[in-house]
């Protein structure tokens, strides 16, 4: 009777890392009462241990049990819901201050370069409103299959597993979703996709700036690696510094800067023209105490839409970037 009362009181609370109630998630694993101490003992599964979601839920549980039901104490043991992605997998958020600076281009090329090094890589396209990864990877836009266990089967291109809202949206129609829906789509990418258990790197193509998605991702992955992408233009630099500080504030680890569209090399004279400004990357690196891990010129791949092959100059730059990242992380 008392157990039922406790269950009913707490099952509507939300695990903000998965954006569903404890009831929907079947997350209440045990309810006990220590009569001597007038205290409630709970075992609850949660999407991510050690982050904001755990903090929120702990507070709400204490409020409900103590203020709502009048118990003196509460002891909660959180167990991390088994994410499909292994705990050894490195998550790299590809972030920037401004849009259009080349996040998706860098994500796709870095993923390909890591895959060429023999790494098991996936891309999660977290830029829900302007998801571009499948098109930049030159993939067919079709709805994914569902496995026998009811999970979404990721698409694979060049050995890279890819998941994006683009596969779910009607072709050519804009996505007008608001926060809650974006969040449930994002958490589905982490909890409902049948990712390979051997993934070593998951690159997450983020939307520009420090909006909702940054906070949502932080609840799912409390401490990720962050690669900042910027052009040298003063406008981009100012915002990327702020964005970097925002990610640090959320306890992510900035691993370095990619300066994209850094210059244009005249094919005949080999002279460099700094069309988007000069030394902006250095300024940002200095302000954030980071290294510039790659300097990428304005260029177009010879064969593919966006992906540079290994034997192209820019392909080599991505190869070096992938090597550096795989050694350091
Ligand atoms: N180094 C580069 N040289 C030339 N064009 C580039 C380069 N990097 C990106 N672009 C182009 O700039 C546009 C924006 O790039 P994108 O990767 O979509 O940026 P973001 O994801 O930051 O919005 C795209 O058309 C892309 O092809
Ligand atoms: Mg993009």
Encode pLDDT of 168-186 as tens digits.
876 666 666 666 667 778 8
Q: Is residue 102 in contact with ligand 1, taking CB distance under 6 Å?
A: yes
* CA dihedral sign of residues 167, 168, 174, 175: negative
End-to-end CA distance of the chain: 51
Taking alpha carbons only, the member of 257, 299, 256, 302 closest to residue 280 is: 257
Same domain, 189 and 41: no
In a domain, 85, yes or no: no
Determine the pLDDT at residue 150.
80
Nearest CA to ligand 1 atom 10: 102
Same domain, 76 and 96: no
Tell me, what CATH number does 318's domain have?
3.40.50.300
Domain count, the chain: 2
Determine the pLDDT at residue 183.
72
Same domain, 286 and 212: yes
Nearest CA to ligand 1 atom 13: 100
CA–CA dist 288, 233 (Å, integer): 17
Q: Which of 33, 51, 80 is the last residue of a domain?
A: 80
Same domain, 76 and 144: no
Same domain, 141 and 26: no
Same domain, 139 and 281: yes
In a domain, 126, yes or no: yes
Model confidence, pTM: 0.82
Determine the pLDDT at residue 295.
98
In a domain, 226, yes or no: yes
Q: Report the separation in Å between the CA atom of 44 and the middle of ligand 1, taken as the mean of its atom positions.
A: 44
Q: Which residue has the tokens 């891990």?
A: 293
Q: Is residue 14 in contact with ligand 1, taking CB distance under 6 Å?
A: no
Same domain, 140 and 53: no
Q: Report the separation in Å between the CA atom of 249 and the middle of ligand 1, taken as the mean of its atom positions.
A: 27
Determine the pLDDT at residue 77.
94
Same domain, 164 and 297: yes
Q: Is residue 243 in contact with ligand 1, taking CB distance under 6 Å?
A: no
Backbone dihedral angles phi then psi of residue 234, each to the nearest 5 degrees? -50, -35
Q: Is 224 left (phi over 0), alpha (psi -120 to 50) or beta?
A: beta
Backbone dihedral angles phi then psi of residue 114, each to the nearest 5 degrees? -65, -40
Determine the pLDDT at residue 176.
64
In a domain, 237, yes or no: yes
Same domain, 283 and 240: yes
Same domain, 96 and 73: no
Q: Is residue 296 in contact with ligand 1, taking CB distance under 6 Å?
A: yes
Same domain, 51 and 132: no
Determine the pLDDT at residue 281.
94
Determine the pLDDT at residue 187.
84
Residues within 5 Å of ion ligand 2, judged at the Cβ atom: 103-104, 127
In a domain, 211, yes or no: yes
Q: Is residue 236 in contact with ligand 1, taking CB distance under 6 Å?
A: no
Contacts of 267 (CB under 8 A, 6+ apart): none
Domain with 30 in it: 2-80
Task: State the CB neighbour count (10 A cutoff) for residue 300.
Answer: 10
Q: Which of 80, 112, 147 is the last residue of a domain?
A: 80
Same domain, 49 and 96: no
Helix (H), strand (E), coil (C) string for the chain: CHHHHHHHHHCCCEECCCCEECCCCCCEEEEEEECCCCEEEEEEEECCCCCHHHHHHHHHHHHHHHHHCCCCEEEEEEEECCCCCCCCCEEEEEECCCCCCCHHHHHHHHHHHHHHCCCCEEEEECCHHHCCHHHHCCCCCCCCCECCCCCECCEEECCEEEECHHHCCCCCCCCCCCHHHHHHHHHHHHHCECCCCCCCEEEEECCCCCCHHHHHHHHHCCCCEEEEEECCCHHHHHHHHHHHHHHHHCCCEEEEEEEECCCEECCCCCCEECCCCCCHHHHHHHHHCCCEEEEECCCCCCCCCCCCCCCCHHHHHHHHHHHHHHHHC
When computed from its CA atoms, the radius of gyration of the chain, rounded to whole angstroms, is 22
Q: Which of 80, 109, 124 is the last residue of a domain?
A: 80
In a domain, 194, yes or no: yes
In the predicted model, residues of the chain with pLDDT beneath 50 are none
Measured at the alpha carbon of residue 181, what is the angle toward residues 165 and 217, in degrees to the nearest 5?
75
Tell me, what CATH number does 10's domain have?
3.30.300.130
């Amino acid at each position: 009777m008392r157990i039922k009362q406790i269950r009913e009181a707490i099952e509507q609370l939300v695990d903000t890392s998965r954006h569903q109630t404890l009831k929907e998630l079947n997350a209440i694993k045990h309810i006990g009462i220590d009569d001597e101490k007038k205290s409630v003992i709970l075992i609850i599964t949660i999407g991510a241990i050690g982050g904001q979601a755990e903090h929120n839920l702990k507070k709400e549980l204490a409020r409900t049990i103590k203020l709502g039901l009048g118990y003196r104490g509460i002891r909660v043991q959180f167990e991390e819901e088994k994410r499909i992605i292994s705990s050894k997998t490195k998550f790299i958020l590809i972030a920037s201050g401004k849009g259009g600076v080349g996040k998706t281009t860098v994500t796709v090329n870095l993923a390909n370069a890591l895959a060429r090094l023999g790494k098991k890589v996936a891309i999660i396209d977290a830029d829900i409103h302007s998801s571009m990864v499948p098109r930049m990877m030159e993939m067919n836009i079709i709805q994914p299959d569902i496995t026998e266990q009811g999970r979404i089967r990721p698409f694979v291109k060049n050995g890279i597993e890819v998941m994006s809202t683009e596969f779910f949206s009607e072709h050519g129609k804009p996505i007008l979703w608001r926060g809650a829906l974006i969040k449930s789509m994002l958490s589905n990418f982490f909890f409902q996709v049948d990712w390979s258990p051997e993934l070593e790197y998951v690159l997450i193509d983020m939307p520009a700036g420090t909006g909702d998605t940054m906070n949502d991702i932080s609840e799912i992955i409390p401490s990720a690696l962050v690669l900042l992408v910027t052009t040298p233009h003063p406008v981009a630099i100012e915002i990327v510094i702020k964005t970097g500080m925002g990610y640090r504030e959320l306890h992510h680890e900035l691993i370095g800067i990619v300066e994209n569209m850094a210059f244009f090399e005249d094919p005949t004279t080999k002279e460099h023209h700094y069309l988007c400004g000069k030394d902006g990357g250095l300024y940002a690196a200095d302000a954030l105490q980071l290294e510039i891990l790659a300097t990428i010129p304005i260029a177009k791949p010879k064969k593919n839409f966006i992906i540079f092959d290994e034997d192209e100059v820019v392909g080599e730059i991505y190869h070096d970037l992938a090597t550096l990242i795989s050694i350091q992380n």
